[in-house]
Amino acid sequence: MKLTHIVSPEDEGLTLHQLLRGPMALSGRETRNVKAQGAVTVDDAPFFSNQKVSAGMIVRVMLNDYDAALQAPSCAAPVSVLYEDDALIAVRKPALVQCHPSPSAPGGSDTLESRVSNYLGMSVHPVHRLDRETTGIVLFARLPYVQAHLQRQMADGSFKKVYRAWVFGVPSPLSGEICAPIRRETPDSFTRIVAEDGQRAISRYTVIQTLLLKEGQAVSLLELSPVTGRTHQLRVHMTHIGCPLLGDTRYFSEASSRLSASLSLSYHQLSAVSLSFIHPITGRPMQLSCHADFSFDPANACASP
């Protein structure tokens, strides 16, 4: 794929190297690679990296694909595509599927990454990840440049995610912001806890619906927005305010665990429903969405009127 940039009056006077690293947002490695490969032209001609560009010049960069040797193994499982173009693809992740290879899902395992790679016939990489149990939208990059660009948006807060979740109880107030630092429970633990010496962590929530179940317990459907991106952040924060996710077997209270067992919920009820970001190639604002996917069925669990 070619990345095309028309030099603006504001860019005039920059060297080609400065343009690539600045307005065109290539990483240092990408800049070195495309220059070494002769994959950069200015007005369809070679151009030295220390030469200055002028307004109106057209800079084209041939972007590298992922190394074919890194392509994930073939997997016949289908994928539910929400959006697709030459730069990225968004799919709906089902529950109980790992996003990408990991110690618990080594190379050759059935992962969402291997399913998408098989669907496209090329290697891709997830821009972000969801826990194995979490459902919903996952965005994959088809080029290293796209992955790096989107991860920079995640770092500066312009890449935004929205989730839906069923939780035990009813938060008070019905909407708010949770500011509670998070760290590992112990240095080698995967479990996270709220602790004063943890990393800054902020989540926002809004109650969408409250139901009274047959068991006499209230549960709530929430919209959740993580402002920061700590591991298990939403799950930890909801437990911190006394409203664990239904079905969560890692972060729970005795009461939420009993209710989840009575409802036959074996995994947490969390679904990623929306992503907002700037398209790395076109520069257009993008918003992708999908419906929430839960195993909890409120129709069968609610008390009779």
- Predicted local confidence at residue 74, as pLDDT: 58
pLDDT averaged over 10-residue windows placed end to end, the chain, 305 residues: 84 88 80 77 83 88 65 70 96 94 63 93 91 96 90 91 98 97 94 97 98 92 96 98 98 96 96 97 95 92 68
pTM for this prediction: 0.82
- Report DSSP state, residue 276: E
Could you report the per-residue pLDDT of 181-209, keeping only the tens digit for each?
999 999 989 999 999 999 999 999 999 99
Which among 85, 86, 131, 197 is annotated as catalytic? 131
CB 224 within 8 A of CB 268: no
Q: Is 8 exposed, middle or buried (0-12, 13-18, 19+ CB in 10 A)?
A: exposed
- The class (CATH top level) of 161-272+296-301 is alpha beta
Confirm whether 131 is a catalytic residue. yes
Q: What is the structure's pLDDT at 67?
A: 62
pLDDT at 214: 83
161-272+296-301: same fold as 68-156? yes
Sign (positive/negative) of CA torsion 145, 150, 155, 157? positive
Residue 286: what residue type? Answer: M
Contacts of 188 (CB under 8 A, 6+ apart): none
| Torsional sign, CA 131, 135, 137, 139 | positive
Compute the distance between CA of residue 27 and CA of residue 291 in angstroms, rounded to an integer: 35
Residue spans per domain, the chain: 2-62, 68-156, 161-272+296-301
Assign domain 2-62 one CATH number from 1.25.40.10, 3.40.50.300, 3.10.290.10, 2.70.150.10.
3.10.290.10
Looking at domain 68-156, which CATH architecture does it have?
A: 2-Layer Sandwich (3.30)
Q: Which residue has the tokens 């929530």?
A: 205
